[in-house]
Amino acid sequence: MTKFQAVRGTRDILPPSVDEFVKLESTARTMARLWGFEEIRTPTFEEAGLFSRGVGENTDIVEKEMYVFTDRGGRQLALRPEGTACAVRAYLENNLSQKENSRRLFYIANMFRAERPQAGRYREFEQIGFEIFADPSPAADAELITLALAILNEYGLKNPALAINSIGCPNCRGPYRRALKEALDKIAGELCEDCQKRLDKNPLRCLDCKTCGPKAQAAAPAFALCAQCAAHESTVESLLRSNDVSFKKDRSIVRGLDYYTRTVFEISAAQLGAQNAVAGGGRYDGLVELLGGTPTPASGFALGVDRVIEAKTAGQAVDSARGRQAVFAVMVKPSSATLDYAFGIIHDLRKQGIAVFTPGYTDSMKSQMRQAGRSGAELALIVGDEECQNQRVVIKELGSGQQETVIRAQLSAHLKNRLNS
């Protein structure tokens, strides 16, 4: 018989690991509310042209990593490889620009890239993304950076490191691209095949190449920002310093997508080794217009959920949060009446907001107690025919083994007091 397995580059996320995903998502939603962002959800697939135009035809994502297919109507569609282009499309299609001057949106969604699977990198992965539309100020960039760090710190990632750069605007980037190409042409034979192709299309991408980035950076001329971009960069840095945000300037950061302008940043975690980026983003003032809208400044970032969790849990066992402040119901060879009694108790407690885990209803008491011990619950509720007849419940502490008997009418209040103490 054929044994089906998860496709290479994908995985099942099972308990207790899934608790970490829920915790990070919950943290992001809480912070989004504090920062004034609204959640959106976009389709899993889009027209392929959205990404080739928005992300850039010459990027690795579009050239090598997109999952593209033709539907029955002959349309070329793609599983989304990133979320910003989708958010811009939704912003334009739904006329969100007409409702408010500035709009703050966020999303939690799975992305798909046909990358080579490796530690912490999957072909299906989750991102949490934040976008600010129609705000050209450097303060918007600084807010996004502080938001990203706030989420990571609140989630529990230790010592995230921030690196920032400015890649200027078309006015100052054009002359630099020409100067960079001239410099890299002199060492073209030492560059990888991909970077040799990039020389004519986008030489800036050579600077963050995993293979020959350091060599390209050593040969690159200094980048002189125009006065407006220099002032923007200076204000972003000043705002970060005034809020005690530590950072380093790293001129090699150009980001892997073509739509960025001015501010770009990456946040890394040393726990991950060489490939240590867990979040990144920046400003993309030309993207909305490129995708058919009116000129609209915008900026954003995305957290790689799998990467953040891997960094936080590196070298430690993942602790299940499933059983905390919960009880486990155990039934001792119940008669029909006892089963009704126990079932009613379980239902009432859940309505009161108390988590109750149940075993297989036909399992032996020994098996049920083993399950209770593994569940992580603090207490076991034991119900048999005697408890049913006397309208009582036995409460057993799973840690110490101590137990007491409580009247059913007082059970909910008693448990709330025990679980919250």
Burial of 394 (0-12, 13-18, 19+ CB in 10 A): middle
The whole-number pLDDT of residue 321 equals 47
The whole-angstrom separation of Cα 331 and Cα 368 is: 8
pLDDT per position as a tens digit, 264-310: 999 999 888 878 999 999 999 999 999 999 999 999 999 999 999 99
Dump strand ranges (E) for 150-209. 161-166
Instruction: Extract the tokens encoding 41.
Output: 């959800």
Q: Name the helix (H) or strand (E) containing 183.
A: helix 170-185
What SS3 class is residue 308? helix
In this structure, are residues 269 and 310 in contact, taking their beta carbons and an 8 Å threshold? no
Cβ-based neighbour number of residue 106 at 10 Å:
24
Instruction: Please state the pTM of the whole predicted model.
Output: 0.86
Specify the CATH number of the domain 17-168+225-313.
3.30.930.10
pLDDT per position as a tens digit, 120-135: 689 999 999 999 999 9
| Sole residue written with tokens 């703050």 | 104
Cβ-based neighbour number of residue 75 at 10 Å:
11
Query: With the C-alpha atoms ordered 79, 195, 214, 145, is the resulting torsion angle positive or negative?
Result: negative
What SS3 class is residue 258? coil
Q: Is the pLDDT score of 91 beyond 90?
A: yes
Picking from 212, 244, 231, the residue whose alpha carbon sits closest to that of residue 166 is: 231
Please give the residue that has the higher pLDDT: either 407 or 204. Answer: 407
The whole-number pLDDT of residue 255 equals 66
Q: What is the mean pLDDT of the chain?
A: 88
CATH 3.50.50.60, applies to 326-420: no
Alpha carbon of 403 to those of 13, 83, 226, 406, 407: distances in Å? Answer: 36, 53, 74, 10, 14
**CATH 3.40.50.800 residue ranges for the chain:** 326-420
Torsion angle defined by CA atoms of residues 126, 96, 281 and 292, in that order, rounded to the nearest 10 degrees:
100
Q: What is the DSSP string of 311-375?
A: HHHTTSPPPP-TTTTEEEEEESS--HHHHHHHHHHHHHHHHTT-EEE---TTS-HHHHHHHHHHH
Please give the residue that has the higher pLDDT: either 229 or 323. Answer: 229
**CATH 3.30.930.10 residue ranges for the chain:** 17-168+225-313
In this structure, are residues 136 and 299 in contact, taking their beta carbons and an 8 Å threshold? no
The whole-angstrom separation of Cα 264 and Cα 273 is: 22
Picking from 357, 392, 363, the residue whose alpha carbon sits closest to that of residue 378 is: 357
In this structure, are residues 326 and 355 in contact, taking their beta carbons and an 8 Å threshold? yes
What SS3 class is residue 268? strand
Tell me the mean pLDDT in the region 165-180. 87
Alpha carbon of 28 to those of 41, 153, 256, 338: distances in Å? Answer: 15, 11, 24, 44
Query: Which of 159-163, 252-256, 387-391 is the least confident region?
Result: 252-256
The whole-number pLDDT of residue 391 equals 94
